[in-house]
Amino acid sequence: MKHFDAVVVGAGPAGATAAYRLAVGGARVLLVDKVRFPRDKPCGGGVTTRAARLLPFSIDPVVEDVVDRFELRLDYRSSFERASDEPLCLMTQRRRLDEFLARKAEEAGAEFRDGVSVAFDDGNVVVGGERVAAGVVIGADGVNGLTARTFGLSRDHGHGVALEGNAPLDTRYRGRLVLELGVVPGGYAWVFPKGDHVNVGVGGWESEGPRLRDHLRRLCDVHGIDFAALNDLRGFRLPYRRASSTFASDKVLLVGDAAGLIDPLSGDGMYEAFVSAKIAVEAVLSGDLGAYESRVLAELGPLHGASWTAKYALDRFPRLTFAIARAPLAWGVISRIVRGDIKDPTAARGLSRAPLKALDRLGKIAQPA
């Protein structure tokens, strides 16, 4: 039987970067994905600068646009724009990004098998029918992951839902992303610029599922996009980890969406995928798997706590929340978080704390008992 120090199940951003780091660290690693690459995945494909900065290599070869301006709008009416001297978000397509990351892992020495399904038999890993021995299993198999199910981890997430599609590029969106607030309960609508198209999408509470098509049609109407002509229209679930969810055991570590690590406000998960993969690999290489879960929670907990508060504030008091976001001091904090200059709102200092405190108070009033 072939032996690997680690078998990584799933080659999305979490799995591929975990495999890359493990291989660079000298581990024998097998990276497996049930789908043949290159493959796409429902996603806006926006890699925030804070996420990109975590990677040990540049993703420039697959970046199609660099966003340094955010346009925020409320109820498809009021709007304001803010710019940054430095990039805020790198726009890519998951078909290209995930292929790039998986090949990076392969170049670093990981064995990559795609189009092959993974199963578990009595704790053993079976890859395309072949039984392999694994020192550690890293479950990077996404929101519907088999690894979590098999090993009894992280099954009690809450969920959001999102629907997205592509339309021909209108150059007015170049270098600029648009966020439409107050239009989808529990979320927002977006327009993201790519090389030759824009990605449009809507996301919100799971209960919005039956209305997502209507929300997306409205977004398209407002932006002069032909809804009927959208390409690659796809929906998917977003997992929001609950405080009681566990995502590690003595032999299995879940990373990224498999662990439910999506930012509840933005719906972003690639930053979380990269963070959890990095910490998982440090735990594996140091032989201290027990430290993994608490280290991830220490790293992401304050950010996600603030995101939940802001999400409830936005949902219940959209106008007030929008006014706070528009306040001159707020943009400095928002842009520094997006760029990764500060980890979360608790790290903000001085006068910029004022809008955050107001948002926090609003969110505490709004959150369910």
Ligand X SMILES: Cc1cc2nc3c(=O)[nH]c(=O)nc-3n(C[C@H](O)[C@H](O)[C@H](O)COP(=O)(O)OP(=O)(O)OC[C@H]3O[C@@H](n4cnc5c(N)ncnc54)[C@H](O)[C@@H]3O)c2cc1C
Q: Quick one: which of 19, 23, 43, 179 contacts ligand X (CB under 6 A)?
A: 43
CB 238 within 8 A of CB 261: no
Q: Whole-angstrom Cα distance, residue 144 to residue 167?
A: 28
**Interface residues for ligand X in 75-114 (CB under 6 A)?**
none
Q: Does 367 bind ligand X (CB under 6 A)?
A: no
Q: How far is the CB of 193 from ligand X (least distance, A)?
A: 12
Q: How far is the CB of 262 from ligand X (least distance, A)?
A: 5
CB-nearer residue toward ligand X: 14 or 348:
14
CB-based contacts of 292, cutoff 8 Å, min separation 6 = 248, 253, 279, 280, 283
The closest alpha carbon to 35, from 104, 110, 118, belongs to: 118
CB 146 within 8 A of CB 118: yes
List helix spans (H) across 240-317: 270-286, 292-316
CB-based contacts of 207, cutoff 8 Å, min separation 6 = 185, 186
What are the tokens at 199?
A: 């990605």
Q: Does 216 bind ligand X (CB under 6 A)?
A: no
Q: Does 14 bind ligand X (CB under 6 A)?
A: yes
Q: Does 141 bind ligand X (CB under 6 A)?
A: yes
Q: Whole-angstrom Cα distance, residue 351 to residue 149?
A: 46
Q: Does 270 bind ligand X (CB under 6 A)?
A: yes
The closest alpha carbon to 64, from 172, 169, 220, belongs to: 169
CB-nearer residue toward ligand X: 141 or 293:
141
Q: Does 142 bind ligand X (CB under 6 A)?
A: yes
CB-nearer residue toward ligand X: 96 or 355:
96
CB-nearer residue toward ligand X: 42 or 355:
42
Q: Quick one: which of 146, 220, 252, 362 contacts ligand X (CB under 6 A)?
A: 146
**Interface residues for ligand X in 315-344 (CB under 6 A)?**
none
End-to-end CA distance of the chain: 53
Q: Does 268 bind ligand X (CB under 6 A)?
A: yes
Q: Does 45 bind ligand X (CB under 6 A)?
A: yes
CB-nearer residue toward ligand X: 91 or 348:
91
The site that binds ligand X (CB under 6 A) totals a number of residues, namely: 38
Q: How far is the CB of 45 from ligand X (least distance, A)?
A: 6
CB-nearer residue toward ligand X: 238 or 306:
238
Q: Beta strand pairing status for 29-33 and 111-114?
A: parallel
Q: Buried b / exposed e across 90-122, counting CB within 10 Å, b at 16+?
A: bbbbbbbbbbbbbebbbebbbbbebeeebebee
Q: Is 170 in a helix, a strand, or coil? A: coil
Stretch that binds ligand X, among 69-77, 250-258, 280-288, 316-324 (CB under 6 A): 250-258
Q: Does 66 bind ligand X (CB under 6 A)?
A: no
Binding mask 148-167 for ligand X (x = CB under 6 A): --------------x-x---
Q: Quick one: which of 165, 182, 186, 201 contacts ligand X (CB under 6 A)?
A: 201
What are the tokens at 119?
A: 């199963």
Give the residues lining the site for ligand X (CB under 6 A). 9-15, 32-35, 41-46, 117-118, 140-142, 145-146, 162, 164, 201, 236, 238, 256-258, 262, 267-270, 273
